[in-house]
Structures are given as C-alpha cells and as structure tokens.
Amino acid sequence: MTGALWVVGLGPGDESLLAPAARRSLEEAEVVVGYRGYLALVAHLLQGKEVEAYPLGAEMERAQRALTLAASGRRVALVSSGDAGIYGMASLLLELWTEREGGPDVQVVPGVPALAAAAALLGAPLGQDFAVVSLSDILTPWEAIARRLEAAAIADFVIVLYNPRSGRRTWQLQEARRILLKHRSPVTPVGIVRRAYREGQQVRITTLSGLDASQVDMETLVIVGNSQTRAGRGRLVTPRGYRRGR
C-alpha cells in the first residue's frame, strides 16, 4: 500500500497566485497537513478533507506526520506558503524521505515565492543577480549568516532578507544593516513589504540608513538594492544593463 505525498507551495496566500497544480494537489489529497496560519489561507479549498493543523515551530512533527500518513496509503498534501522549496517544508520532508527505503511517492509542487511577490509589488528590484538570506539564527549560526551578508554586500548582489525580525529575534536586522552599510551607500534603496497579497498588505520604499526595524515583523520581506538600484515614481528598479550596452 503506497500513498502519495505532495509538498505544496501555496504562493503568498491570495487565490490569484495559487497555481493550478497546487490547487489540484489540495483537491486530490485526502489529508492536508500544515501550519495552521497557512491552512487558514486556503480554508475554503479544504472543505470535506481531513485537516491536521499544527502550531508554528512544529516543522519536524508536520514532516514526520505527513510521511507516516502517506506511508500508510493515504494521499497527503503538506503545505507551505510561497514556494515550498524556499525556507519551506520541502527540504526537511525530503531529508527524512531520502533516508528511508520505499514509502510514498513524493512530489514537490512549486509556487510563487514570497521574494517574487514582494519584488512585483515594489517594481523590479531583482533585475540583476541577487542573494537570498534568512536572518533567522535558530537553525543557522549567526556567524554563517553574517558571513553571507558580508559576501553578498561586497559582490554587489541585490539582497533579499527572509525572516528579518520576530517577537524574539529583535537585533538581527539592525546587525544586518550595520554589516551592509560597511560596503554599501547609506542611500541604497530598500523595499519593505509586509503581508504581500494578503489583507493588510503594506509596501514601503526607504533607504539603507533609513531602514526602521520597528516597521518589520515576521510577515515582512526586506529587499536591499545593489549599487545600481534606483527608486522612482514609487517603484524600485535594478536596471539589467540593456541601455549601458548600447
């Protein structure tokens, strides 16, 4: 008896950015497992299903439970917001799965990641090479995070900051700002997007020196421009270089 397991990226939350493949996985699943905050985003698609809603932080429990259910022959969807592969459930789930033998088929269903959603609302800050860094030092030592920030700043990457701040992690964003300011101008444009494509959405454009951590929480993404990023008419743009080349 072999079930199926879809690891599904829901996109930012709004149904207009839920890919048809993700919707189909939810429809085909008998059991849907996930963080309760994300399940609430798609509650209307889950009627008549078994739903197993977990609190924040129970990632290991969610992954193991989804694997167990699927191994017992059920069709299971394990959900993340955004893209399931980018700081979502896919890596932990597959880490556990690759250590097993046999067991369910696993398929990762990609979604619109938070970085693409935030960038679209800001304009086009990701027009050149970019680096994606999570400021959460729960799973990664701060020294490794600081080293990546420094390297990305020196090499003039646009930088996308995930998990910039939470109730408990309050100093990391200011420390990141300090590291970036060693290598990048204080007037570097910065975009702050809170609750992209969700109720209460907020989009702000500021500068690296003006970055106010109190406007940032765990539902916020911060995008720091590179040396060529410009702000104009309420948008951020990192030119790709078409006009320089001509």
Q: Which residues inside 96-115 make contact with its own copies, applying CB under 8 A?
A: 97-99, 108-113
Given CA atoms 87, 56, 136, 237 in this order, what sign does their dihedral have? positive
Q: Which SS3 state, helix, strand or coil, does residue 91 take?
A: helix
Could you say which of 132, 192, 211, 221 contacts its own copies (CB under 8 A)?
132
# chain residues binding its own copies, by CB under 8 A = 78
> Shortest Cβ distance from residue 217 to its own copies (Å)?
21
Q: Which is nearer to its own copies, 50 or 57 (CB)?
A: 57
Dist CA 38 CA 35 (whole Å):
6
Asked whether position 241 contacts its own copies by CB under 8 A, the answer is yes
Could you say which of 81, 188, 220, 238 contacts its own copies (CB under 8 A)?
238
Q: How many CB atoms lie within 10 A of CB 34?
A: 25
Cβ contacts of 166-170, under 8 Å, gap ≥ 24: 166/136, 166/217, 166/218, 167/218, 169/135, 169/136, 169/137, 169/138, 170/213
Asked whether position 5 contacts its own copies by CB under 8 A, the answer is no
Closest CA relative to residue 173, chosen from 190, 155, 198: 190
Contact flags string 64-93 toward its own copies, x per CB under 8 A: -------------------xxxxx--xxxx
Asked whether position 44 contacts its own copies by CB under 8 A, the answer is no
Could you say which of 3, 13, 104, 125 contacts its own copies (CB under 8 A)?
125
Contact flags string 145-174 toward its own copies, x per CB under 8 A: x-xx-xxx-xxxx-----------------
In degrees, rounded to 5, the angle at the alpha carbon of residue 170 between the alpha carbons of residues 167 and 176 is: 140
> Shortest Cβ distance from residue 176 to its own copies (Å)?
12
Report the phi/psi class of residue 210: left, alpha or beta, with left for phi > 0 and alpha for psi in -120 to 50.
alpha
In degrees, rounded to 5, the angle at the alpha carbon of residue 28 between the alpha carbons of residues 22 and 29 is: 90
Asked whether position 187 contacts its own copies by CB under 8 A, the answer is no
> Shortest Cβ distance from residue 101 to its own copies (Å)?
9
Q: Which stretch binds its own copies (CB under 8 A): 13-21, 43-51, 70-78, 205-213?
A: 13-21
35, 56 Cβ separation under 8 angstroms: yes
Residue ranges in 14-43 that form contacts with its own copies under rule CB under 8 A: 14-21, 24
